Structure 1
Amino acid sequence: MTTPDVNAPRGQAGLLGPVEVRALAAELGVRPTKQLGQNFVHDANTVRRIVNTAGVGRDDVVLEVGPGLGSLTLALMDVVDSVIAVEIDPVLAARLPKTAAERAPELADRLTVVGADAMKVMPADLPAAPTALVANLPYNVAVPVLLHLFCEFPSLRTALVMVQAEVADRLAAAPGSKIYGIPSVKACFFGEVRRTGSVGPHVFWPVPKVDSGLVRVDRYATAPWPIDEENRRKVFAVVDAAFAQRRKTLRAALAGWAGSPVEAERRLVAAGIAPSARGETLDAAAFVRLAAVEPLDPIG
């Protein structure tokens, strides 16, 4: 990530307020749906805060998922030269370039809109390799989208996402806490994760019944373990098995994954992990060590 350029043009985009958001939605006949997890931000201070917390600069290529009506998009266009917005809703995707041209004509060429499902988007689908993810992620698919993008886009050096507060807490949870689990470990596989703020429901339309949280993920500058696809699959398989029965000891919880409780114990001991431990006590490094232990060769 680059250091924000103090000379970058700021405040040129006409950001969307509550009146503009409702007017755009009415024009398009858009009714936010729970199925797509749509809650549109209409507070200028909130989107500026997200952009500032992301710390993106002029040279960053920012990937935004679920831009909706364009509230965050316009704020991003103020400070970076390239914003790639991935929108699954064809009506919203078609309107966004027009909104950018109307409200920030001098910045409109900074925006590229890609009509696609963020859960399926691949590097070949985008015009450039993104360096940062900045997004108000749909609540219902926030974690899968975040992990998919870090898996498929090694160019992503950082992410600043707004998600449901409970999800934000889980992503940033530390080993040993009651909310530490699969999202916590899998996010930490890629980088350092931390909670960076809270957002109340009043800045959205429609108003959600929950608070939101900001989470930042910074990919490891020097990875402490291989981040390749093969290793990721191995590690994630162990993580899934360990938390599928989180009340059980790892010796019991991993019996299916390893083939038997005895083999699970052997691998745990080889990785320096007590067989009586539970999944919520292990950090990402321990899961990586465990996944690296080779199974015994079959006899005969």
Structure 2
Amino acid sequence: MAPDLRDPGPAPETGVSPDCGRLTRWQMTHVQDATAAWIRQDSEALLTRYPHIGRAVEAAKAKGRNREAQARAARAAISATPDLVARAAAERGDRVHEFAEAIGKWQLGAVSAGAVDDKRDVLDAHGEGAFADVLMDFWQRWDIQAVANEVTVWNHGLQVAGTLDIVFRAAGRLYVGDFKTKDDRHGLTKPLSPSVGMQLLNALHADEHVTDTERGVWESWPYARPDHLLAIAVSPSAVVPQLINPDTYDRQWATFTHLRGLWQSYRDGDSGSVLRPAQPPPSAARWPDGELVGLPDGVGAGSR
């Protein structure tokens, strides 16, 4: 039985093991760059790349905070930089994906040309029209004919769901593709992570795909034998498509199934053996339950 889409199970990603809570090199780079911009008072960088730092400091000033508190606000904003950058990148990726999806749906007759224009307008409004330009160029040069878009698939053996961006034909061959917005701060295309291969391999091992999300209708997956798996890196300057090497299919799938097992093991762990209720010490009995207790002598109550 296929899953309820409200709880589709783990996505076919490689990051299925527990988070170690460490700063990655990518995160550290953003924190270091933001720190350097703040120390140097690089007005251009603070305005274009790190406006949140200035906003945090101005908010502290508006509340009458002293210089030490303003510095703490700046440090907190700097620490939040990787999360803000990641969120902005994810939102931009969604807009680019939605434009590509709209083109595919237009080809399939599911939406009008106006729907494509609307998605282009959204990109333009965010200064991201170049992504649309290179995607349209790629579509035309490859003579892409969409077969399916944003398809949710299900693997019974692993109990795992995944979403495939596009299934299309080009030059008589069937492709399953995945779009990745991959650009550096100069707008150039960055190399793709090899893990995209594991995502795309889900197309070869899917059993069913959803055909009606509202009613929960699933049907057999008809595209488990495509000619190629294609990872498509999209930046404002270019679209760089790369084929997944068929010689690595078995190895990559074995790696994915191993990671899937780790994820399940972590999820199935008895949380009761890890977390237990903590009872307050006897001193708590001095106050009735449900009453909020402040610090002595009104400390921390503010000026009210």
- TM-score, length-normalised on structure 1? 0.21
- TM-score, length-normalised on structure 2? 0.21
Structure 1 or 2, whichever has the larger Rg, is: 2
Q: Which has the higher helix share?
A: 2
